[in-house]
Amino acid sequence: MAKFHIDNLLASAPAQQNLTANYKWMTAVSCSSTLALRRIYVYQLGFGANGTPNSTDCAIEFDLSKFTAAGTGVASTPTGLDTDAGTSNSVTIGSINYTADGTTTANSAIFQKSINQRATWQWTAYSDAARLVGPATNLAGLALRARSPTYASTVDADLYFEE
């Protein structure tokens, strides 16, 4: 299986979005009917703040949720990480910094973490059994989201997956 990486700065004009009290999609990967459908196996996540911190310490919540319909974001081509990927693009569609979120399946977060605004966190799967799976279904995928009622700047959200 080929490995790929995507983050919400991976575009010529990333147009990062400031956080609000409601979840905003930072980085999302999904299947497309115009290409072959393949399951998405997320094996690593990285997230943290990359904007001016709030004057008082506060928390930022991140989660990885399933969605069934994509919203409006900046198109981003995932970067191949190994020889299996070669110079080929992934068939998985990447989008970042959504201005209009898609349709998230209710209560479907499979990863959730609240962090300090001055912290950076990373989750890694040691084995294939620990990977987070997105089904090979048209327009369905996984979205790494963030929200904060206090921290009102931008965050970095990166995602490593296999297909």
By CB under 8 A, name the binding residues for other proteins. Answer: 37, 39, 57, 109-111, 113, 115-116, 118-127, 129-133, 135-138, 140
Query: Are the CB atoms for 24 and 152 separated by under 8 Å?
Result: no
Select 14 or 135, whichever has its Cβ closest to other proteins.
135
The structure tokens listed for 138 are 């048209």
Select 99 or 120, whichever has its Cβ closest to other proteins.
120
Smallest distance, other proteins to C-beta of residue 129, A:
6
Smallest distance, other proteins to C-beta of residue 105, A:
10
Give the bridge partners for 60, in sequence order: 115
Residue with tokens 């989660």: 63
Burial of 56 per CB tally in 10 Å (0-12, 13-18, 19+): exposed
Residues, the chain: 163
Select 11 or 26, whichever has its Cβ closest to other proteins.
26
Smallest distance, other proteins to C-beta of residue 1, A:
15
